[in-house]
Structure 1
Protein backbone atom coordinates (compact mmCIF):
# COMPACT_ATOMS: atom_id res chain seq x y z
CA UNK A 1 0.00 0.00 0.00
CA UNK A 2 1.26 3.47 -0.83
CA UNK A 3 2.15 5.58 2.19
CA UNK A 4 0.64 9.02 1.77
CA UNK A 5 1.26 10.33 5.30
CA UNK A 6 4.11 12.53 4.02
CA UNK A 7 1.85 14.43 1.63
CA UNK A 8 0.96 17.96 2.72
CA UNK A 9 -2.69 18.42 3.62
CA UNK A 10 -3.08 21.20 1.05
CA UNK A 11 -0.88 23.06 -1.43
CA UNK A 12 -1.88 26.62 -2.25
CA UNK A 13 -0.36 29.62 -3.97
CA UNK A 14 -0.51 31.46 -0.64
CA UNK A 15 1.76 28.95 1.13
CA UNK A 16 5.04 30.48 2.37
CA UNK A 17 7.71 30.37 -0.32
CA UNK A 18 5.45 28.78 -2.94
CA UNK A 19 5.36 31.77 -5.29
CA UNK A 20 9.13 32.04 -5.08
CA UNK A 21 9.40 28.36 -6.01
CA UNK A 22 7.18 28.93 -9.06
CA UNK A 23 9.18 32.00 -10.06
CA UNK A 24 12.37 29.91 -10.06
CA UNK A 25 11.05 27.32 -12.52
CA UNK A 26 12.26 27.35 -16.15
CA UNK A 27 9.81 28.84 -18.67
CA UNK A 28 8.90 25.39 -19.97
CA UNK A 29 8.09 23.93 -16.55
CA UNK A 30 5.04 23.99 -14.30
CA UNK A 31 4.69 22.61 -10.79
CA UNK A 32 2.02 19.92 -10.49
CA UNK A 33 2.44 19.24 -6.79
CA UNK A 34 4.48 17.65 -4.01
CA UNK A 35 5.07 13.88 -3.77
CA UNK A 36 5.11 11.62 -0.73
CA UNK A 37 8.84 12.12 -0.21
CA UNK A 38 8.54 15.90 -0.30
CA UNK A 39 9.98 16.38 -3.79
CA UNK A 40 8.39 18.64 -6.39
CA UNK A 41 6.48 16.89 -9.18
CA UNK A 42 6.66 19.10 -12.25
CA UNK A 43 6.14 18.85 -15.99
CA UNK A 44 8.58 20.16 -18.60
CA UNK A 45 6.63 20.68 -21.81
CA UNK A 46 9.83 20.84 -23.82
CA UNK A 47 10.18 17.10 -23.21
CA UNK A 48 6.59 16.10 -22.35
CA UNK A 49 4.56 18.53 -24.46
CA UNK A 50 0.99 17.44 -23.67
CA UNK A 51 -0.85 16.75 -20.40
CA UNK A 52 -3.99 14.72 -19.74
CA UNK A 53 -6.02 15.29 -16.58
CA UNK A 54 -8.80 12.95 -15.52
CA UNK A 55 -10.55 12.99 -12.15
CA UNK A 56 -13.55 10.92 -11.22
CA UNK A 57 -15.53 13.42 -9.15
CA UNK A 58 -14.43 16.86 -10.24
CA UNK A 59 -11.23 18.82 -9.84
CA UNK A 60 -9.89 18.52 -13.38
CA UNK A 61 -10.83 22.10 -14.24
CA UNK A 62 -8.98 23.39 -11.18
CA UNK A 63 -5.84 21.49 -12.20
CA UNK A 64 -6.13 22.88 -15.75
CA UNK A 65 -6.46 26.39 -14.31
CA UNK A 66 -3.41 25.96 -12.07
CA UNK A 67 -1.22 24.68 -14.90
CA UNK A 68 -2.49 27.19 -17.46
CA UNK A 69 -1.92 30.10 -15.08
CA UNK A 70 1.69 29.05 -14.55
CA UNK A 71 2.41 28.96 -18.28
CA UNK A 72 0.62 32.28 -18.83
CA UNK A 73 2.74 33.74 -16.05
CA UNK A 74 5.80 32.61 -18.02
CA UNK A 75 4.64 34.43 -21.15
CA UNK A 76 2.63 31.77 -22.98
CA UNK A 77 -0.67 32.44 -24.76
CA UNK A 78 -3.73 30.23 -24.30
CA UNK A 79 -6.66 29.05 -26.40
CA UNK A 80 -9.35 27.89 -23.96
CA UNK A 81 -12.00 25.65 -25.51
CA UNK A 82 -14.90 24.84 -23.20
CA UNK A 83 -18.63 24.68 -23.96
CA UNK A 84 -19.42 25.94 -20.45
CA UNK A 85 -16.85 28.79 -20.37
CA UNK A 86 -17.90 29.76 -16.83
CA UNK A 87 -15.09 27.76 -15.14
CA UNK A 88 -12.53 29.85 -17.02
CA UNK A 89 -13.85 33.35 -16.46
CA UNK A 90 -10.75 33.98 -14.36
CA UNK A 91 -8.88 34.49 -17.64
CA UNK A 92 -11.52 36.47 -19.56
CA UNK A 93 -9.74 39.82 -19.26
CA UNK A 94 -6.26 38.59 -20.17
CA UNK A 95 -5.14 39.79 -23.62
CA UNK A 96 -3.11 36.62 -24.17
CA UNK A 97 -6.15 34.33 -23.76
CA UNK A 98 -8.78 33.45 -26.38
CA UNK A 99 -12.00 31.72 -25.32
CA UNK A 100 -14.29 29.68 -27.53
CA UNK A 101 -17.44 28.13 -26.11
CA UNK A 102 -20.03 27.00 -28.67
CA UNK A 103 -19.32 24.05 -30.92
CA UNK A 104 -19.07 26.18 -34.09
CA UNK A 105 -16.54 28.47 -32.44
CA UNK A 106 -14.49 25.54 -31.15
CA UNK A 107 -14.57 23.92 -34.60
CA UNK A 108 -13.32 27.10 -36.28
CA UNK A 109 -10.66 27.64 -33.60
CA UNK A 110 -9.22 24.16 -34.06
CA UNK A 111 -9.28 24.43 -37.85
CA UNK A 112 -7.43 27.72 -37.47
CA UNK A 113 -5.03 26.02 -35.09
CA UNK A 114 -4.05 23.60 -37.86
CA UNK A 115 -2.98 26.57 -39.99
CA UNK A 116 -1.04 28.06 -37.06
CA UNK A 117 0.71 24.74 -36.49
CA UNK A 118 1.82 24.64 -40.12
CA UNK A 119 2.87 28.29 -40.03
CA UNK A 120 5.09 27.63 -37.04
CA UNK A 121 6.56 24.46 -38.51
CA UNK A 122 7.42 26.38 -41.70
CA UNK A 123 8.69 29.42 -39.80
CA UNK A 124 12.01 30.61 -41.15
CA UNK A 125 13.60 31.67 -37.89
CA UNK A 126 13.98 30.91 -34.20
CA UNK A 127 10.71 29.88 -32.54
CA UNK A 128 12.12 30.82 -29.14
CA UNK A 129 10.76 34.31 -29.75
CA UNK A 130 7.29 32.97 -30.62
CA UNK A 131 5.02 32.63 -27.54
CA UNK A 132 4.08 29.13 -26.53
CA UNK A 133 0.44 28.35 -27.17
CA UNK A 134 -1.45 26.31 -24.58
CA UNK A 135 -4.56 24.66 -26.01
CA UNK A 136 -6.79 24.07 -22.99
CA UNK A 137 -9.55 21.60 -23.82
CA UNK A 138 -12.04 21.24 -20.98
CA UNK A 139 -14.85 18.67 -21.06
CA UNK A 140 -12.80 17.32 -23.93
CA UNK A 141 -14.43 13.95 -24.64
CA UNK A 142 -17.89 15.49 -24.84
CA UNK A 143 -16.57 18.37 -26.95
CA UNK A 144 -14.93 16.05 -29.48
CA UNK A 145 -18.15 14.06 -29.85
CA UNK A 146 -20.04 17.31 -30.43
CA UNK A 147 -17.48 18.34 -33.05
CA UNK A 148 -17.98 15.03 -34.87
CA UNK A 149 -21.77 15.48 -34.92
CA UNK A 150 -21.40 19.11 -35.98
CA UNK A 151 -19.20 18.11 -38.93
CA UNK A 152 -21.78 15.57 -40.04
CA UNK A 153 -24.41 18.31 -40.37
CA UNK A 154 -22.65 19.96 -43.31
CA UNK A 155 -20.07 17.47 -44.54
CA UNK A 156 -20.25 17.03 -48.31
CA UNK A 157 -19.89 13.76 -50.18
CA UNK A 158 -16.23 14.26 -51.05
CA UNK A 159 -15.22 15.66 -47.67
CA UNK A 160 -13.21 13.51 -45.26
CA UNK A 161 -15.27 11.54 -42.78
CA UNK A 162 -13.25 12.73 -39.78
CA UNK A 163 -14.04 16.15 -38.44
CA UNK A 164 -11.28 18.56 -39.54
CA UNK A 165 -11.33 20.02 -36.02
CA UNK A 166 -10.58 16.61 -34.46
CA UNK A 167 -7.96 15.98 -37.13
CA UNK A 168 -6.34 19.33 -36.30
CA UNK A 169 -6.16 18.39 -32.62
CA UNK A 170 -4.49 15.11 -33.53
CA UNK A 171 -1.98 16.96 -35.71
CA UNK A 172 -1.11 19.21 -32.77
CA UNK A 173 -0.65 16.19 -30.52
CA UNK A 174 1.77 14.68 -33.05
CA UNK A 175 3.72 17.80 -34.03
CA UNK A 176 2.98 20.41 -31.38
CA UNK A 177 6.26 20.03 -29.55
CA UNK A 178 8.33 21.38 -32.43
CA UNK A 179 5.86 24.24 -32.91
CA UNK A 180 5.65 25.18 -29.20
CA UNK A 181 1.94 24.29 -29.11
CA UNK A 182 0.83 22.19 -26.15
CA UNK A 183 -2.45 20.50 -25.23
CA UNK A 184 -3.97 20.38 -21.74
CA UNK A 185 -6.78 17.83 -22.05
CA UNK A 186 -9.49 17.25 -19.45
CA UNK A 187 -10.98 13.83 -20.12
CA UNK A 188 -10.23 10.18 -20.77
CA UNK A 189 -9.28 10.67 -24.44
CA UNK A 190 -10.80 7.28 -25.23
CA UNK A 191 -14.42 8.36 -25.72
CA UNK A 192 -14.16 11.35 -28.03
CA UNK A 193 -12.78 9.85 -31.21
CA UNK A 194 -9.04 10.47 -30.89
CA UNK A 195 -6.90 7.86 -32.64
CA UNK A 196 -4.92 5.57 -30.29
CA UNK A 197 -1.62 6.96 -31.58
CA UNK A 198 -2.78 10.49 -30.75
CA UNK A 199 -3.78 9.46 -27.22
CA UNK A 200 -0.29 8.11 -26.66
CA UNK A 201 1.16 11.62 -27.03
CA UNK A 202 0.16 12.51 -23.47
CA UNK A 203 3.46 11.92 -21.69
CA UNK A 204 2.12 13.26 -18.40
CA UNK A 205 -1.17 11.92 -17.04
CA UNK A 206 -2.79 13.18 -13.83
CA UNK A 207 -5.41 10.84 -12.38
CA UNK A 208 -7.57 11.13 -9.27
CA UNK A 209 -10.47 9.01 -8.06
CA UNK A 210 -10.81 7.13 -11.33
CA UNK A 211 -12.11 3.61 -11.78
CA UNK A 212 -9.77 0.65 -12.20
CA UNK A 213 -10.89 0.42 -15.84
CA UNK A 214 -10.02 4.06 -16.53
CA UNK A 215 -6.66 3.61 -14.80
CA UNK A 216 -5.83 0.63 -17.00
CA UNK A 217 -6.82 2.56 -20.11
CA UNK A 218 -4.80 5.66 -19.29
CA UNK A 219 -1.89 4.27 -17.24
CA UNK A 220 -1.53 0.61 -18.24
CA UNK A 221 2.23 0.42 -17.65
CA UNK A 222 2.03 2.06 -14.21
CA UNK A 223 0.67 -1.09 -12.58
CA UNK A 224 -2.73 -1.71 -10.97
CA UNK A 225 -4.90 1.17 -9.87
CA UNK A 226 -3.95 2.42 -6.39
CA UNK A 227 -6.49 3.14 -3.69
CA UNK A 228 -8.19 6.46 -4.31
CA UNK A 229 -8.30 9.28 -1.78
CA UNK A 230 -11.20 11.66 -1.24
CA UNK A 231 -8.84 14.31 0.16
CA UNK A 232 -8.93 17.48 -2.01
CA UNK A 233 -5.98 17.68 -4.35
CA UNK A 234 -4.77 14.10 -3.95
CA UNK A 235 -3.81 12.55 -7.28
CA UNK A 236 -1.34 10.27 -9.00
CA UNK A 237 0.94 11.80 -11.62
CA UNK A 238 2.14 9.26 -14.18
CA UNK A 239 5.42 10.11 -15.88
CA UNK A 240 7.69 7.65 -17.70
CA UNK A 241 5.57 4.74 -16.52
CA UNK A 242 5.80 5.62 -12.81
CA UNK A 243 2.84 6.77 -10.72
CA UNK A 244 3.75 9.44 -8.16
CA UNK A 245 1.27 9.97 -5.29
CA UNK A 246 0.98 13.74 -5.24
CA UNK A 247 -0.71 16.59 -3.42
CA UNK A 248 -1.61 18.81 -6.37
CA UNK A 249 -1.22 22.58 -6.29
CA UNK A 250 -4.71 24.08 -6.33
CA UNK A 251 -5.25 27.65 -7.46
CA UNK A 252 -8.62 29.36 -7.10
CA UNK A 253 -10.12 31.61 -9.77
CA UNK A 254 -9.31 34.70 -7.74
CA UNK A 255 -5.74 33.58 -6.97
CA UNK A 256 -5.02 32.87 -10.64
CA UNK A 257 -6.56 36.14 -11.82
CA UNK A 258 -4.81 38.25 -9.17
CA UNK A 259 -1.44 36.56 -9.75
CA UNK A 260 -1.60 37.11 -13.49
CA UNK A 261 -2.81 40.69 -13.07
CA UNK A 262 0.24 41.30 -10.89
CA UNK A 263 2.39 39.64 -13.53
CA UNK A 264 1.00 41.95 -16.22
CA UNK A 265 1.71 44.93 -13.96
CA UNK A 266 5.31 43.84 -13.58
CA UNK A 267 4.90 42.66 -10.00
CA UNK A 268 5.77 39.22 -8.57
Structure 2
Protein backbone atom coordinates (compact mmCIF):
# COMPACT_ATOMS: atom_id res chain seq x y z
CA UNK A 1 0.00 0.00 0.00
CA UNK A 2 1.25 3.46 -0.88
CA UNK A 3 0.50 6.53 1.22
CA UNK A 4 0.73 10.02 -0.23
CA UNK A 5 2.49 11.92 2.51
CA UNK A 6 4.50 14.55 0.64
CA UNK A 7 1.86 15.16 -2.04
CA UNK A 8 -1.77 15.37 -0.93
CA UNK A 9 -4.76 17.66 -0.60
CA UNK A 10 -3.21 19.46 2.38
CA UNK A 11 0.29 19.98 1.00
CA UNK A 12 1.70 23.49 0.68
CA UNK A 13 0.13 25.40 -2.16
CA UNK A 14 -3.03 23.30 -2.30
CA UNK A 15 -6.42 24.24 -0.94
CA UNK A 16 -8.16 22.44 1.85
CA UNK A 17 -11.90 22.51 2.37
CA UNK A 18 -11.46 25.23 4.98
CA UNK A 19 -9.87 27.54 2.39
CA UNK A 20 -12.64 27.33 -0.21
CA UNK A 21 -14.56 30.35 1.06
CA UNK A 22 -14.83 33.61 -0.87
CA UNK A 23 -13.00 36.50 0.76
CA UNK A 24 -16.24 38.46 0.60
CA UNK A 25 -19.74 37.19 -0.14
CA UNK A 26 -21.56 40.15 -1.68
CA UNK A 27 -25.02 40.74 -3.04
CA UNK A 28 -24.07 39.89 -6.64
CA UNK A 29 -22.75 36.51 -5.49
CA UNK A 30 -26.01 35.67 -3.76
CA UNK A 31 -28.69 37.47 -5.78
CA UNK A 32 -29.96 34.40 -7.66
CA UNK A 33 -30.61 32.53 -4.45
CA UNK A 34 -32.02 35.57 -2.67
CA UNK A 35 -34.65 36.23 -5.31
CA UNK A 36 -35.60 32.59 -5.87
CA UNK A 37 -35.99 31.43 -2.28
CA UNK A 38 -39.30 30.97 -0.48
CA UNK A 39 -40.78 33.85 1.49
CA UNK A 40 -39.85 32.42 4.90
CA UNK A 41 -36.22 31.65 4.01
CA UNK A 42 -33.28 33.92 4.80
CA UNK A 43 -29.85 33.34 3.33
CA UNK A 44 -27.10 33.61 5.93
CA UNK A 45 -24.04 32.88 3.77
CA UNK A 46 -22.20 29.96 2.17
CA UNK A 47 -20.26 26.98 3.48
CA UNK A 48 -16.85 25.68 2.40
CA UNK A 49 -18.41 24.04 -0.67
CA UNK A 50 -19.98 27.36 -1.69
CA UNK A 51 -23.42 25.99 -0.88
CA UNK A 52 -25.99 28.37 0.63
CA UNK A 53 -26.42 28.32 4.39
CA UNK A 54 -30.00 29.36 5.10
CA UNK A 55 -32.60 29.52 7.83
CA UNK A 56 -36.29 28.96 7.20
CA UNK A 57 -38.16 30.89 9.87
CA UNK A 58 -41.27 28.78 9.29
CA UNK A 59 -39.74 25.31 9.50
CA UNK A 60 -36.15 25.45 10.85
CA UNK A 61 -36.47 27.80 13.80
CA UNK A 62 -38.60 30.86 14.54
CA UNK A 63 -35.81 32.76 16.33
CA UNK A 64 -32.08 33.34 15.73
CA UNK A 65 -29.34 34.53 18.06
CA UNK A 66 -26.19 36.26 16.81
CA UNK A 67 -23.24 36.30 19.21
CA UNK A 68 -20.17 38.16 18.02
CA UNK A 69 -17.27 40.17 19.38
CA UNK A 70 -17.26 43.92 18.88
CA UNK A 71 -16.56 44.76 15.24
CA UNK A 72 -17.06 41.18 14.03
CA UNK A 73 -20.07 42.00 11.87
CA UNK A 74 -23.29 41.88 13.91
CA UNK A 75 -24.74 44.94 12.19
CA UNK A 76 -23.87 43.55 8.74
CA UNK A 77 -25.72 40.30 9.47
CA UNK A 78 -28.68 42.23 10.88
CA UNK A 79 -28.86 44.42 7.77
CA UNK A 80 -28.74 41.50 5.33
CA UNK A 81 -31.40 39.54 7.24
CA UNK A 82 -33.69 42.55 7.65
CA UNK A 83 -33.35 43.45 3.97
CA UNK A 84 -34.37 39.97 2.85
CA UNK A 85 -37.46 40.08 5.06
CA UNK A 86 -38.44 43.54 3.81
CA UNK A 87 -37.99 42.83 0.09
CA UNK A 88 -40.27 39.79 0.47
CA UNK A 89 -43.05 41.93 1.91
CA UNK A 90 -42.42 41.46 5.63
CA UNK A 91 -42.07 44.06 8.35
CA UNK A 92 -39.08 44.67 10.60
CA UNK A 93 -39.10 46.16 14.09
CA UNK A 94 -35.70 47.49 15.15
CA UNK A 95 -35.08 47.70 18.90
CA UNK A 96 -31.88 49.72 19.01
CA UNK A 97 -30.64 50.78 22.45
CA UNK A 98 -27.46 52.00 20.72
CA UNK A 99 -29.65 54.39 18.68
CA UNK A 100 -27.35 54.40 15.64
CA UNK A 101 -26.99 50.75 14.61
CA UNK A 102 -29.22 50.90 11.52
CA UNK A 103 -29.69 54.47 10.39
CA UNK A 104 -29.91 53.14 6.83
CA UNK A 105 -33.28 51.59 7.68
CA UNK A 106 -35.01 54.57 9.25
CA UNK A 107 -38.03 55.79 7.27
CA UNK A 108 -37.96 52.83 4.89
CA UNK A 109 -41.32 51.17 4.10
CA UNK A 110 -42.10 48.31 6.44
CA UNK A 111 -39.66 49.48 9.12
CA UNK A 112 -40.53 50.39 12.71
CA UNK A 113 -37.67 51.86 14.77
CA UNK A 114 -37.45 52.25 18.57
CA UNK A 115 -34.48 53.63 20.51
CA UNK A 116 -35.79 55.01 23.82
CA UNK A 117 -36.39 52.33 26.41
CA UNK A 118 -40.06 53.26 26.84
CA UNK A 119 -40.51 53.02 23.06
CA UNK A 120 -38.80 49.63 23.04
CA UNK A 121 -41.16 48.53 25.83
CA UNK A 122 -44.14 49.83 23.81
CA UNK A 123 -42.92 47.96 20.73
CA UNK A 124 -42.61 44.66 22.60
CA UNK A 125 -46.07 44.79 24.18
CA UNK A 126 -47.61 45.96 20.90
CA UNK A 127 -46.03 43.12 18.92
CA UNK A 128 -47.04 40.62 21.63
CA UNK A 129 -50.63 41.88 21.44
CA UNK A 130 -50.47 41.35 17.67
CA UNK A 131 -49.22 37.81 18.29
CA UNK A 132 -52.26 37.16 20.51
CA UNK A 133 -54.58 38.63 17.85
CA UNK A 134 -53.04 36.40 15.20
CA UNK A 135 -53.39 33.32 17.41
CA UNK A 136 -57.16 33.93 17.59
CA UNK A 137 -57.27 34.10 13.78
CA UNK A 138 -55.36 30.83 13.57
CA UNK A 139 -57.69 29.22 16.11
CA UNK A 140 -60.73 30.16 14.00
CA UNK A 141 -59.16 29.21 10.67
CA UNK A 142 -60.44 25.85 9.33
CA UNK A 143 -57.47 25.09 7.10
CA UNK A 144 -53.77 24.47 7.55
CA UNK A 145 -52.24 26.73 10.21
CA UNK A 146 -49.52 27.93 7.85
CA UNK A 147 -52.17 29.28 5.46
CA UNK A 148 -54.09 31.30 8.07
CA UNK A 149 -54.47 34.96 6.97
CA UNK A 150 -52.53 36.48 9.87
CA UNK A 151 -50.75 39.17 7.86
CA UNK A 152 -47.14 39.80 6.81
CA UNK A 153 -44.20 38.19 8.55
CA UNK A 154 -42.78 40.33 11.36
CA UNK A 155 -39.12 40.16 12.38
CA UNK A 156 -37.75 41.92 15.45
CA UNK A 157 -34.09 42.94 15.30
CA UNK A 158 -33.04 43.30 18.95
CA UNK A 159 -29.65 44.97 19.15
CA UNK A 160 -27.36 44.58 22.19
CA UNK A 161 -29.68 42.10 23.85
CA UNK A 162 -27.92 42.16 27.21
CA UNK A 163 -28.10 45.94 27.56
CA UNK A 164 -31.67 46.05 26.30
CA UNK A 165 -32.93 43.46 28.78
CA UNK A 166 -31.06 45.09 31.66
CA UNK A 167 -32.56 48.50 30.82
CA UNK A 168 -36.01 46.95 30.50
CA UNK A 169 -35.53 45.39 33.94
CA UNK A 170 -34.76 48.81 35.43
CA UNK A 171 -37.69 50.33 33.54
CA UNK A 172 -40.08 47.70 34.90
CA UNK A 173 -39.14 48.67 38.46
CA UNK A 174 -40.91 52.00 37.83
CA UNK A 175 -44.16 50.28 36.77
CA UNK A 176 -47.05 49.28 39.02
CA UNK A 177 -46.75 45.74 40.32
CA UNK A 178 -50.19 44.74 39.00
CA UNK A 179 -52.39 45.64 36.07
CA UNK A 180 -49.48 46.22 33.68
CA UNK A 181 -48.44 43.85 30.91
CA UNK A 182 -44.68 44.08 31.32
CA UNK A 183 -42.29 44.09 28.35
CA UNK A 184 -40.30 41.13 29.74
CA UNK A 185 -43.47 39.04 29.69
CA UNK A 186 -44.20 40.31 26.18
CA UNK A 187 -40.70 39.19 25.15
CA UNK A 188 -41.42 35.72 26.51
CA UNK A 189 -44.80 35.51 24.79
CA UNK A 190 -43.20 36.41 21.46
CA UNK A 191 -40.56 33.73 21.98
CA UNK A 192 -43.13 31.08 22.91
CA UNK A 193 -45.90 31.84 20.40
CA UNK A 194 -44.11 33.56 17.54
CA UNK A 195 -43.66 30.69 15.10
CA UNK A 196 -47.33 30.10 14.27
CA UNK A 197 -48.05 33.84 14.27
CA UNK A 198 -45.16 34.54 11.84
CA UNK A 199 -43.38 36.75 14.39
CA UNK A 200 -39.67 36.21 14.95
CA UNK A 201 -36.91 37.47 17.22
CA UNK A 202 -33.36 37.97 15.94
CA UNK A 203 -31.25 38.81 18.99
CA UNK A 204 -27.74 40.28 18.86
CA UNK A 205 -25.13 40.47 21.57
CA UNK A 206 -21.41 40.29 22.29
CA UNK A 207 -21.85 37.73 25.04
CA UNK A 208 -25.36 36.63 25.88
CA UNK A 209 -25.58 36.61 29.68
CA UNK A 210 -27.55 33.67 31.11
CA UNK A 211 -28.61 35.90 34.02
CA UNK A 212 -30.25 38.35 31.61
CA UNK A 213 -31.57 35.90 29.01
CA UNK A 214 -33.09 32.91 30.85
CA UNK A 215 -32.17 29.42 29.67
CA UNK A 216 -35.74 28.73 28.53
CA UNK A 217 -35.50 31.66 26.10
CA UNK A 218 -32.00 30.79 24.97
CA UNK A 219 -33.27 27.37 23.92
CA UNK A 220 -35.92 29.04 21.74
CA UNK A 221 -33.15 30.47 19.56
CA UNK A 222 -32.82 27.36 17.39
CA UNK A 223 -30.02 28.80 15.25
CA UNK A 224 -27.04 30.60 16.72
CA UNK A 225 -24.59 32.55 14.56
CA UNK A 226 -21.20 32.93 16.19
CA UNK A 227 -18.32 35.13 15.06
CA UNK A 228 -14.96 35.39 16.87
CA UNK A 229 -16.39 33.37 19.71
CA UNK A 230 -14.59 32.68 22.96
CA UNK A 231 -14.41 29.22 24.50
CA UNK A 232 -16.80 30.27 27.27
CA UNK A 233 -19.34 31.65 24.75
CA UNK A 234 -19.15 28.46 22.71
CA UNK A 235 -19.60 26.28 25.76
CA UNK A 236 -22.66 28.28 26.82
CA UNK A 237 -24.43 28.60 23.46
CA UNK A 238 -23.13 25.60 21.48
CA UNK A 239 -22.45 23.13 24.27
CA UNK A 240 -24.36 20.33 22.50
CA UNK A 241 -22.01 20.53 19.49
CA UNK A 242 -19.08 19.48 21.65
CA UNK A 243 -15.47 20.53 21.10
CA UNK A 244 -14.97 24.28 20.65
CA UNK A 245 -13.26 24.91 17.29
CA UNK A 246 -10.90 27.85 16.83
CA UNK A 247 -12.75 31.03 15.91
CA UNK A 248 -12.09 32.02 12.28
CA UNK A 249 -10.39 35.39 12.05
CA UNK A 250 -11.25 36.19 8.42
CA UNK A 251 -13.69 39.10 8.02
CA UNK A 252 -17.30 37.90 7.92
CA UNK A 253 -16.41 34.30 8.83
CA UNK A 254 -17.94 32.37 11.69
CA UNK A 255 -20.16 29.42 12.52
CA UNK A 256 -23.85 28.69 12.06
CA UNK A 257 -24.87 26.41 14.91
CA UNK A 258 -27.96 24.31 14.22
CA UNK A 259 -28.76 22.06 17.14
CA UNK A 260 -25.83 19.68 17.50
CA UNK A 261 -24.24 20.71 14.20
CA UNK A 262 -21.96 23.65 13.43
CA UNK A 263 -21.21 24.81 9.88
CA UNK A 264 -18.39 27.24 9.20
CA UNK A 265 -19.97 30.05 7.22
CA UNK A 266 -18.90 33.05 5.19
CA UNK A 267 -21.73 35.41 6.05
CA UNK A 268 -23.47 37.55 3.48
CA UNK A 269 -22.41 41.17 3.17
CA UNK A 270 -24.74 43.75 1.65
CA UNK A 271 -23.74 47.38 2.05
CA UNK A 272 -26.15 49.72 3.82
CA UNK A 273 -26.68 51.67 0.60
CA UNK A 274 -27.53 48.46 -1.26
CA UNK A 275 -29.88 47.38 1.53
CA UNK A 276 -31.83 50.65 1.36
CA UNK A 277 -31.95 50.60 -2.45
CA UNK A 278 -33.16 46.99 -2.54
CA UNK A 279 -35.94 47.69 -0.04
CA UNK A 280 -37.16 50.76 -1.92
CA UNK A 281 -36.98 49.02 -5.32
CA UNK A 282 -38.86 45.97 -4.08
CA UNK A 283 -41.53 48.15 -2.47
CA UNK A 284 -41.99 50.16 -5.66
CA UNK A 285 -42.30 46.94 -7.69
CA UNK A 286 -44.91 45.48 -5.33
CA UNK A 287 -46.79 48.77 -5.36
CA UNK A 288 -46.97 48.72 -9.17
CA UNK A 289 -48.36 45.19 -9.02
CA UNK A 290 -50.88 46.08 -6.33
CA UNK A 291 -49.25 43.78 -3.77
CA UNK A 292 -48.73 46.27 -0.95
CA UNK A 293 -50.47 45.14 2.21
CA UNK A 294 -53.13 47.55 3.39
CA UNK A 295 -52.44 49.39 6.65
CA UNK A 296 -54.15 47.95 9.73
CA UNK A 297 -57.88 48.58 9.65
CA UNK A 298 -59.77 50.14 12.52
CA UNK A 299 -61.07 46.69 13.35
CA UNK A 300 -57.54 45.27 13.55
CA UNK A 301 -56.41 48.14 15.78
CA UNK A 302 -59.40 47.64 18.07
CA UNK A 303 -58.68 43.91 18.26
CA UNK A 304 -55.06 44.65 19.15
CA UNK A 305 -56.17 47.11 21.84
CA UNK A 306 -58.56 44.52 23.28
CA UNK A 307 -55.79 41.93 23.40
CA UNK A 308 -53.52 44.36 25.22
CA UNK A 309 -56.23 45.21 27.76
CA UNK A 310 -56.87 41.52 28.32
CA UNK A 311 -53.15 40.98 28.89
CA UNK A 312 -53.08 43.86 31.37
CA UNK A 313 -56.05 42.44 33.28
CA UNK A 314 -54.30 39.09 33.57
CA UNK A 315 -51.06 40.67 34.80
| 2:104 alignment counterpart | 90
**Displacement of 1:261 after TM fit?**
1.3
Aligned partners of 1:236 and 1:243 also within 8 Å: yes
| Structure index of larger Rg | 2
Deviations 1:25-52 (A, max 9, x none): 1001011011012211000000211110
Length-normalised TM-score, structure 1:
0.92
Residue 178 in structure 1 maps to residue 192 in structure 2? no
Within 5 Å, give how 1:82-231 maps onto structure 2. 82-123=96-137, 124-125=140-141, 126-128=147-149, 130-156=151-177, 158=178, 164-187=182-205, 188-191=207-210, 193-231=212-250
| 1:22 alignment counterpart | 34
Question: What residue ranges of structure 2 are gaps of 5+ in the alignment?
Answer: 1-15, 142-146, 287-315
| 1:42 alignment counterpart | 54
**Displacement of 1:84 after TM fit?**
2.2
| 1:51 alignment counterpart | 64
| 2:278 alignment counterpart | 259
2:87 is aligned, of 36, 55, 73, to 73
Aligned partners of 1:7 and 1:247 also within 8 Å: yes
Deviations 1:83-121 (A, max 9, x none): 223221111122211100011110111111221111010
Residue 61 in structure 1 maps to residue 75 in structure 2? yes
**Displacement of 1:192 after TM fit?**
6.0
SS at match of 1:259: helix
SS at match of 2:200: strand
Q: Distance in 2 between matches of 1:228 and 1:57?
A: 14
Aligned partners of 2:95 and 2:156 also within 8 Å: yes
Aligned partners of 1:54 and 1:186 also within 8 Å: yes
RMSD: 2.0
Aligned partners of 2:240 and 2:259 also within 8 Å: no
Question: What residue ranges of structure 1 are gaps of 5+ in the alignment?
Answer: none
Q: Distance in 1 between matches of 2:135 and 2:150?
A: 14
